[in-house]
């Protein structure tokens, strides 16, 4: 039996990371009473046990040796805790930002797109028709199901999409994408040293960043212009930066989603869209205000330009 290559292993671990982060995101939404985990469209999340996820990952890694299996099981237990906490914390802080000026009770979940696909399941194209039907129904679209919903850059490709609406003057749309930085060697988390090495690695990562990485600033009522030619240069900025590429993906999905909702007559008031890339090493985010009928935030143009990168095959 041929052992999976490092790249293949990275895909498997990345798939597991996505599932485990989503568990934390859904857990937070449930704790804030925004979703009911007993809902039919969340049945897969409710019935899939953590042990089944671990088993699927180890099966895809094609491990036979029992000692190695135990090591991988410990690593997956560790990742399960870390990823759940990361997803829960990211979602909690997003909701806190909305709660302070709005009061979260003014918003309800209009749509939640959070597909669950286990490692080793069929690829996206094989499930394309069913995926389009699912998101068509969840978003409340009318008419026949459009197969273009699953084209590159379209909402059905998003890892996670949350649409909040209510009595407030604005809607909110959150799109999340996930990226896992696969270590060169899987640590043995049955031993204390593995936990210490991971903490030290994160400390080195933080210390390696410039002081500007610790500064957060926002500018309002300013504008900028982007040349169409920028699409010819963005690839160079993302080829070695997967988190930034994931942010570009999320931004593209967010922009295409709000445009589609307006075309279908479902979005008739301003909507604050946020793209969020979640990684073990931190978060990347961009927010913009979408105005139906025009007059959009210049940052939405940036989302559109970043969306061009989604078609780049080397980063897919």
19-33, 197-211, 287-301: range with highest mean pLDDT: 19-33
Query: Distance (Å, rounded) from C-alpha 82 to C-alpha 88?
Result: 10
pLDDT grade for 181, boundaries at 50, 70 and 90: confident
Q: 79: closest CA among 24, 159, 123, 8? A: 24
Does the pLDDT at position 314 exceed 50?
Answer: no
Q: 17: closest CA among 62, 100, 83? A: 83
Query: Distance (Å, rounded) from C-alpha 105 to C-alpha 169?
Result: 14
pLDDT: is 236 or 110 the higher one?
110
Query: Distance (Å, rounded) from C-alpha 162 to C-alpha 166?
Result: 13
The average pLDDT across 169-198 equals 87
pLDDT: is 214 or 114 the higher one?
114
pLDDT: is 240 or 84 the higher one?
84
Query: Distance (Å, rounded) from C-alpha 115 to C-alpha 158?
Result: 9
Does the pLDDT at position 31 exceed 70?
Answer: yes
The average pLDDT across 9-33 equals 95
pLDDT grade for 299, boundaries at 50, 70 and 90: low
Q: Dihedral sign, CA of 42, 152, 307, 209?
A: positive
Does the pLDDT at position 315 exceed 50?
Answer: no
pLDDT grade for 171, boundaries at 50, 70 and 90: very high
Residue 10 vs residues 40, 65, 80, 275, 297: alpha-carbon distances, Å: 32, 20, 16, 24, 37
At 104 the pLDDT is 76
Query: Distance (Å, rounded) from C-alpha 258 to C-alpha 13?
Result: 31
Minimum mean pLDDT range among 43-52, 101-110, 154-163, 240-249: 240-249
Query: Distance (Å, rounded) from C-alpha 303 to C-alpha 252?
Result: 6
Q: What percent of the chain has pLDDT over 70?
A: 81
- Average pLDDT of the residues of the chain: 83
DSSP conformational letter for 141: -
pLDDT: is 201 or 88 the higher one?
88
pTM of the model: 0.85
pLDDT grade for 313, boundaries at 50, 70 and 90: very low
At 316 the pLDDT is 37
Task: Extract the runs of DSSP E, i.e. beta strands, from 23-88.
Answer: none
The average pLDDT across 15-33 equals 96
Residue 1 vs residues 31, 32, 62, 86, 252: alpha-carbon distances, Å: 45, 47, 8, 35, 40
């Amino acid at each position: 039996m041929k052992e999976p290559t490092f790249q293949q292993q990275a895909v498997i671990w990345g798939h597991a990371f996505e599932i485990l982060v989503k568990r934390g995101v859904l857990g937070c939404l449930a704790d804030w009473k925004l979703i009911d985990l007993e809902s039919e469209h969340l049945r897969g999340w409710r019935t899939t046990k953590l042990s089944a996820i671990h088993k699927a990952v180890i099966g895809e890694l094609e491990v036979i040796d029992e000692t190695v299996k135990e090591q991988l099981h410990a690593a997956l237990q560790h990742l399960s805790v870390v990823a759940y906490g990361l997803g829960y914390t990211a979602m909690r802080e997003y909701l806190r930002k909305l709660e302070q000026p709005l009061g979260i009770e003014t918003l309800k979940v209009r749509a939640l797109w959070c597909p669950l696909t286990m490692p080793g399941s069929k690829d996206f194209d094989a499930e394309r028709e069913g995926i389009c039907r699912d998101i068509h129904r969840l978003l409340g679209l009318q008419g026949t199901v459009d197969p273009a919903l699953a084209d590159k850059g379209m909402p059905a490709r998003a890892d996670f999409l949350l649409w909040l609406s209510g009595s407030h003057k604005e809607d909110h749309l959150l799109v999340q994408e996930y990226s896992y930085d696969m270590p060169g060697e899987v640590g043995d988390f049955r031993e204390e040293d593995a936990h210490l090495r991971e903490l030290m690695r994160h400390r080195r990562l933080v210390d390696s960043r410039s002081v500007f990485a610790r500064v957060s600033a926002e500018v309002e009522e300013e504008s900028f212009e982007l040349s169409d030619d920028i699409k010819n240069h963005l690839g160079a900025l993302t080829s070695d930066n997967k988190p930034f590429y994931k942010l570009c993906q999320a931004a593209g999905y967010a922009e295409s989603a709000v445009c589609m909702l307006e075309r279908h007559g479902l979005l008739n008031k301003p909507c604050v869209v946020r793209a969020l890339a979640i990684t073990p090493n931190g978060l990347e985010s961009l927010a913009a205000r979408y105005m139906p009928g025009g007059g959009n935030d210049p940052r939405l143009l940036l989302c559109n330009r970043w969306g061009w990168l989604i078609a780049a095959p080397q980063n897919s």
